[in-house]
Amino acid sequence: MSERKQPGWRGKPSPLIMQRIHRGEERDLEGYDLTGAELSGVNLRACFLAGANLRGANLSDANLEACFLAGADLHGANLRRANLHKIMVWLTDLSKANLREANLTAANLHRVNLSGADLTDAQLDEKWARIVSLLTSKKGNGQDFSGCDLSRTDLRGADLSNANLEGCSLAGADLRGTNLKGAILTGADLTGADLEGATMPDGTIHE
């Protein structure tokens, strides 16, 4: 099996391609290095951005509806007021991104890094609002996460006491020091999860 490519593996797009991007005419942006690119207000609807490097890029007011962003790097990107309706995000780095007032309704978010991201006034579906709040604040006590995909997420020290995690995928998740006291774990997948020091539903400490 081949190794996963690093974001931006395709290199910088040519000036001609950049012109097409700004005109909203280029849809295949897989693997391009767009670090720090000025893309404010650009129409990128339904673009294929898998593996793209968009670290620090300005995407404020841009239209990214239905974009595919698997494996993309958007660390520190400015996505303020961006249209992210129906985006597909998987193994994507959105840490420290500015997502203020962004439209994330119907977004498909899986294994996304949102640490330090600013989601003030962002529009989110109820389920994703709970997940995003958990990933950013580590507070999910008493919340309903049944059936959610939280696999490979960093939940170290999170408060999930009395939370409903029935049927939830926590495979490969980092749950070190997590408070799971009173949580419902019926049917939850904990394969490969790190539970060192976690408080289990019965109040015992996992060693």
Q: DSSP for 116-168?
A: T-B-TT-B--HHHHHHHHHHHH-B-TT-B-TT-B-TT-B-TT-B-TT-B-TT-
Choose one of 125, 150, 179: the last residue of a domain. Answer: 125
Same domain, 86 and 152: no
Residues 22, 49: one domain? Answer: yes
Q: Are residues 29 and 103 in the same domain?
A: yes
- What is the token pair recorded at 74? 């958007």
Q: Examine residue 130 and state whether it is found in any structural domain, yes or no.
A: no
Q: Are 27 and 98 in a shared domain?
A: yes
Query: What domain range is 116 assigned to?
Result: 7-125
- Which candidate, 13, 29, 26, 15, places its Cα nearest to that of 72? 29
- Mind listing the pLDDT tens digit for each residue in 26-65? 999 999 999 999 999 999 999 999 999 999 999 999 999 9
The span from the CA of 32 to the CA of 10, in Å, is 5
Position 115 scores a pLDDT of 82
**Does 157 lie in the same domain as 187?**
yes
Buried/exposed code over 60-77 (b: 16+ C-beta within 10 A; e: otherwise): bbbbbbbbbbbbbbbbbb
Is 132 part of any domain?
A: no
Residues 160 and 117 in one domain: no
Q: Which of 92, 125, 158 is the last residue of a domain?
A: 125
Q: Is residue 52 within 8 Å of residue 34, measured between CB atoms? A: yes
pLDDT for 137 equals 87
Whether residue 24 is found in the same domain as residue 62: yes
Verify that 15 and 105 share a domain, yes or no. Answer: yes
Task: Please give the chain's pLDDT, 207 residues, in tens.
Answer: 345 689 999 999 999 999 999 999 999 999 999 999 999 999 999 999 999 999 999 999 999 999 999 999 999 999 999 999 999 998 899 999 999 999 999 998 888 888 889 999 999 998 888 888 898 889 999 999 998 888 888 899 999 999 999 999 999 999 999 999 999 999 999 999 999 999 999 999 998
* Structural domain total, the chain: 2
pLDDT at 3: 58
CA distance 99 to 128: 14
The predicted pLDDT at position 109 comes to 83
